[in-house]
């Protein structure tokens, strides 16, 4: 059978899980990138995004060509210039694709079993550096900045508070509605739509609840009572429109700049540094891996355990930096003292 219609059917089947457009695009990109190698086409001719060029490099390619031997050779070429995480993602995509084809009765077996899978590595947490950095960030953002075109500290604090005190991802923040925070006083919770459609309820302490209410009050003053009707986006821009991905990232980066803490944000973390700070402080204060897993919406306990292990390492590093230890080392002739 021709490959391209099967890829289209697979992507349509994945769409029922409500992945983001970025995720669906990544599935298609990984499938095409390896397929052109199996088909002996030139991967350099592929666009980085968008439709395939004409003539289509995969036109006439059939699924029968994708044997274990062919896929092993293609993945070896695919892996050479790429990081292990990218190869791992592509392997998972192709494995899911052939699992789908087996279920549909298109092929008899999954040839990906013959392709070695890269070792899975849990990325290290990237919290904000500095013990008082979160407090410094919040204190700076709470004060209106005259350099801004339209200061809105209540909204900015709500964003930071939901990330630092509830550990929400960027996509989870954008998905919040005005009715997502609910419950009786003292028992408030925020309903979060996480990865894979998993919904979790995170307890909201009175301080965060007050922060969100102050933001909604300021929004009523700006745009009127109808702007906070249940069902609308919780986080909006300065015109009252729902915040988008780029706008939210820019907002958080501007908060870092105003607080003068850009040098304390791990490279590549941006908003995720706030979520990692939330999780790291949970671990430092004695939360178990299973508690962190539930609060962060992790699918694997290993991801949550990583925060506890890193925190233990940070504590060891702090002890090692103690000047008294260095004095003792000098007195006793211990190497490194």
Active site residues per annotation: 169, 195, 272, 275, 298, 307
Helix (H), strand (E) counts: the chain: 13, 3
Contacts of 73 (CB under 8 A, 6+ apart): 37, 38
CA distances from 209 to 144, 165, 181, 232, 257 (A): 21, 10, 8, 18, 26
Query: Distance between CA 248 and CA 167 in Å, rounded?
Result: 15
Under a CB-based contact definition with an 8 Å cutoff, are residues 199 and 191 in contact?
yes
DSSP result, 57-114: TTTT-BGGG--HHHHHHHHHHHHTTS-HHHHHHHHHHHHHHHHHHHHTTSSSS-GGGG
Task: Report residue 253 CA to chain centroid gap.
Answer: 16
Query: Distance between CA 128 and CA 139 in Å, rounded?
Result: 15
Under a CB-based contact definition with an 8 Å cutoff, are residues 115 and 34 in contact?
no
């Amino acid at each position: 059978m021709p490959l391209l219609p099967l890829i289209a059917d697979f992507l349509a089947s994945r769409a029922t899980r409500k992945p983001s457009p970025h995720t669906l695009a990544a599935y298609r990109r990984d499938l095409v990138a390896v397929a052109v190698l199996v088909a002996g086409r030139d991967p350099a001719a592929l666009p980085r995004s968008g439709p395939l060029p004409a003539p289509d490099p995969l036109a006439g390619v059939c699924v029968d060509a994708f044997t274990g031997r062919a896929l092993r050779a293609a993945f070896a070429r695919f892996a050479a210039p790429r990081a292990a995480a990218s190869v791992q993602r592509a392997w998972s995509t192709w494995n899911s694709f052939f699992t789908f084809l087996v279920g549909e009765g298109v092929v008899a077996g999954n040839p990906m079993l013959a392709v070695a899978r890269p070792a899975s590595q849990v990325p290290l947490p990237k919290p904000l550096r500095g013990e008082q950095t979160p407090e410094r960030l919040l204190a700076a953002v709470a004060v209106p900045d005259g350099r801004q075109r339209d200061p809105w500290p209540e909204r900015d604090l709500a964003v930071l508070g939901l990330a630092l005190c509830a550990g929400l991802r960027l996509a989870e923040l954008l998905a919040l509605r005005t009715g997502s925070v609910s419950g009786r006083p003292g028992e408030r919770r925020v309903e979060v739509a996480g990865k894979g459609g998993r919904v979790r309820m995170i307890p909201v302490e009175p301080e965060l609840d007050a922060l969100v209410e102050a933001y909604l009050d300021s929004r009523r003053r700006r745009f009127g009572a109808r702007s906070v009707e249940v069902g609308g986006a919780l986080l909006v821009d300065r015109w009252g429109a729902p915040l988008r991905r780029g706008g939210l990232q820019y907002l958080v980066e501007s908060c870092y700049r105003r607080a003068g803490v850009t040098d304390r944000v791990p490279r590549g973390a941006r908003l995720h540094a706030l979520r990692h700070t939330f999780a790291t402080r949970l671990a430092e204060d004695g939360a178990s891996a299973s508690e962190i897993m539930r609060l962060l919406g992790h699918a694997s306990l290993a991801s949550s355990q990583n925060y506890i292990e890193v925190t233990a390492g940070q504590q060891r590093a702090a002890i090692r930096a103690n000047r008294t230890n260095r004095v003792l080392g000098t007195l006793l002739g211990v190497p490194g003292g």
